């Protein structure tokens, strides 16, 4: 005699509405070229198509997991609330870093009259952007402080993923916010400027995948596109 036993697996529909969440992680950034304008008592000019990069710390316990060095890497911090099963609203900070490339040829338009070697009237002229001419970076943070609305959709059934305690969801959303960087710049041999300032605003859109473990731990991989003005 043989006995056959049939087992069934039910996909669990976990509830989101009314829940709060918080996350913290790290990012990489890639920047399109920008036009940057400078205006003062003895200069008024624009550098066109300025190229820049992010600034990534080597991965190590210090500073990535040191609570006193939390903002040294490029980080993302966010807190949110599910107001329906599939939608959440959140506020957060994308703490990126921006470093302008030096020792490259740039295009300049405007006037400089500081009594130095860079004086002149420029009209789409080429200039070597040396460190003596300009250093420009937001290494204490190109901070994008924003509010987002996100949608979450569980895809366990679609993937036929049958591991209890682990749920997979896709997410997408849009956001709007302010730029609050700490700008570190030295221009035309003048004193270094290093202050926090409201530098503009931005809109963003993102898509990603979330893996929730035992309803309390969340791993997210998110691609965000932001237009910062």
Domain ranges of the chain: 20-32+58-102+133-228
pLDDT in tens, 133-169: 999 998 888 899 999 999 988 877 777 766 676 777 8
This model's pTM is above 0.85: no
pLDDT in tens, 32-52: 898 999 998 999 999 999 999
215: left (phi over 0), alpha (psi -120 to 50) or beta: left
Instruction: Check residue 90 and give its pLDDT.
Output: 95
- Answer positive or negative: Cα dihedral of 198, 185, 175, 92: negative
pLDDT, position 2: 41
pLDDT value of residue 79? 95
- For the chain, the DSSP string reads ---------PPP----TT-EEEEEEE-------EEEEEEETTEEEEEEEE-EE---PPPSHHHHT-GGGTTSS-EEEEEEEESSSSEEEEEEEEEEEEEEPPSEEEEEEEEE-SSSTT-EEEEEEEEEE-TTTEEEEEEEEEEEEEEEEEEEEE-HHHHT---TTEEEEEEEEEEEEEE--EEEEEETTPPPEEEE---EEEEEEEEEEEEEETTTEEEEEEEEEEEE-
Q: Looking at the predicted structure, is the pLDDT value of residue 56 above 70?
A: yes
Token pair recorded at residue 167: 């749920």
Which of 94-103, 163-172, 195-204 has the least mean pLDDT? 163-172
Say if domain 20-32+58-102+133-228 classifies as CATH 2.60.40: no
């Amino acid at each position: 005699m043989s006995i056959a036993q049939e087992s069934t697996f039910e996909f669990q529909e976990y509830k989101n509405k009314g829940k709060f969440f918080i996350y913290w992680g790290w990012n990489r950034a890639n920047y399109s070229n920008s036009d940057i304008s400078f205006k003062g008592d003895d200069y008024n000019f624009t550098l066109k198509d300025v190229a820049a990069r992010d600034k990534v710390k080597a991965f190590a316990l210090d500073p990535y997991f040191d609570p006193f060095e939390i903002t040294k890497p490029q980080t993302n911090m966010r807190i949110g609330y599910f107001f329906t099963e599939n939608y959440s609203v959140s506020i957060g900070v994308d703490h990126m870093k921006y470093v302008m490339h030096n020792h490259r040829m740039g295009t300049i338009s405007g006037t400089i009259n500081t009594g130095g070697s860079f004086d002149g009237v420029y009209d789409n002229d080429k200039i070597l952007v040396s460190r003596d001419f300009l250093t420009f970076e937001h290494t204490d943070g190109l901070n994008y402080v924003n509010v987002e609305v996100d949608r979450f959709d569980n895809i366990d059934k679609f993937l036929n993923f049958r591991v209890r305690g682990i749920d997979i969801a896709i997410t997408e959303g849009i956001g709007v916010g302010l730029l609050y960087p700490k700008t570190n710049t030295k221009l035309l041999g003048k004193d270094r400027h290093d202050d926090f300032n409201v530098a503009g605003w931005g809109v963003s859109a993102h898509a990603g995948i979330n893996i929730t473990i035992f309803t309390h731990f969340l791993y997210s991989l998110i691609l965000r596109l932001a237009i910062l003005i």
